[in-house]
Amino acid sequence: MKKLFLLSTIFIAVNSFCFAQIEPSKELMEFYTPKWEGERDVSGRPLVSDDLMDRLLNLSIEEAWGVLRGEGYHNQFEGGWEMINDKPFVGRALTVQYMPNRPELKDNIQKMGEKQGRIGPSNSWPIDMLKERDVYVADGFGKVFNGTLIGDNLGNSIYAKSKTGVVLDAGARDLEGLSKIEGFNAFVRGFDPTFIMEMMVTGINVPIGIGRASCVPGDVVLAKREGVIFIPAHLVQKVVITGEFIALRDRFGIQMLKEGVYTPGQIDTQWTDDIKNAFIKWLDKNKDSLPMSREELDEYMKNRTW
């Protein structure tokens, strides 16, 4: 009986190692993102459309934050970054979890990656996975000295694959070289000439913490000078249409104030039916400059409390 128990234990251990993954299964990815009903990639990560992301880039951090807060998401923004430049970017999060090095675990992870066909050290694995419109988001536990996750070589590779940028709760090296990558930006905790040391990758495309924010694979990353906000995939459309509607409402209000049609007291409070009807007519006259389709706008306004 003892021998049978020992053999069973060995079988389970070996079998678990054989099926161990640095990435979650498709089923686990769906567990992480249960409210997303759209397209997913082969790993199960949500794929928010390029069109929505392009429109999102025109919105402010505050507009996105306001919608998320209203939906009960209070932990999606993080500020206090150092950047290469002021160029904003938007994309789908490919997340990476780093931890302080533990030799036996790092060795096993490296061996597992090699069996899975991964090339090079583990910090290069997520970069090999990047697709266009992805954003490399890494929890490097705020390490800068000996915690530089990228230099100009990796930066060039990242931008060639993703055409976006990176968000690293860690450091970066070779600011001069990185700044020469046209179109690229990095949000990091600091710059340092040291190499990455005593760090290991323990998860790719897993939920991570970035400072006081949470980020799940497939979240849409909106990175601007003010900071970075991680928008759950299932809320991106609502963030976009709400932000665009508010911008239209503000345009109408400002025009009406300049023309003396309404007073500030009328515009800056709950609108009357007369003002709402005037707004609808104004939308009809300016339909060619709407950022969304009229059908999409009409559907949104059905549930709008104004």
Co-location of 136 and 273 in the same domain: no
Is residue 8 situated within a structural domain? no
What pLDDT does residue 20 have?
A: 56
Structurally, the chain folds into a number of domains equal to 2
For residue 216, being part of any structural domain is answered with yes
| Cβ atoms < 10 Å from Cβ of 294 | 11
Q: What is the mean pLDDT of residues 150-175?
A: 97
Residues 216 and 176 in one domain: yes
Both structure tokens of 96: 């990476």
Asked if residue 19 is part of any domain, the answer here is no
Q: Is residue 122 in some structural domain?
A: yes
CA distance 64 to 229: 8
In this structure, of 59-73, 101-115, 198-212, 285-299, the range with the lowest mean pLDDT score is 285-299
Give CA–CA dist 57/52, Å, rounded: 9
- Split at pLDDT 50, 70, 90, the class of 11 is very low
Q: Which comes out higher in pLDDT, residue 103 or 3?
A: 103
β-strands 77-78, 227-231 pairing: antiparallel
User: What is the pLDDT, as a whole number, of residue 122?
Assistant: 93
The residue from 201, 216, 231 where one domain ends is: 231
pLDDT at residue 86 tops 80: yes
CA atoms of 254 and 260, how far apart (whole Å): 10
Would you say the pTM of this structure is higher than 0.75? Answer: yes
Q: Is the pLDDT of residue 110 over 70?
A: yes
Residue 293 lies in a domain: yes
Model confidence at 146: pLDDT above 90: yes
Supply 197's token pair.
């040391």
Is there a single domain that holds both residue 225 and residue 251? no
For 32-42, the pLDDT digits (tens) are 999 999 999 99
Structure tokens at 129: 């996975």
Q: What percentage of the chain exceeds 90 in pLDDT? A: 86
The answer to whether residues 76 and 190 belong to one domain is yes
Q: Indicate the pLDDT class of residue 21, thresholds 50, 70 and 90.
A: confident
Residue 40 is given by DSSP the state B
24 domain residue, yes or no: no
Return mean pLDDT, the chain: 92
User: 224-276, pLDDT tens digit by residue?
Assistant: 999 999 999 999 999 999 999 998 999 999 999 999 999 999 999 999 999 99
> Reduced to 3 states, what is the DSSP secondary structure of residue 198?
coil
Task: Tell whether 1 is covered by a domain.
Answer: no
- The CATH number assigned to the domain holding 149 equals 3.50.30.40
Query: Among the three residues 231, 250, 273, which one is the final residue of a domain in this structure?
Result: 231
pLDDT band at 304 (very low <50, low <70, confident <90, very high): confident
Query: Are residue 97 and residue 58 in the same domain, yes or no?
Result: yes
Judged by average pLDDT, the poorest of 13-22, 57-66, 230-239 is 13-22
Domain span including residue 266 = 237-302
Q: Does any domain span residue 291?
A: yes
- What is the reported pLDDT for 289? 87
* DSSP-derived 3-state class of residue 62: helix
Task: Output 53 or 7, whichever has higher pLDDT.
Answer: 53
Evaluate if residue 218 carries a pLDDT over 60.
yes
Quick one: 80 and 177 in the same domain?
Answer: yes
DSSP for 232-282 reads -GGGHHHHHHHHHHHHHHHHHHHHHHHTTSS-HHHHTSPPPHHHHHHHHHH
Final residue in a domain of this structure, among 179, 204, 231: 231
% of the chain beyond a pLDDT of 70:
93
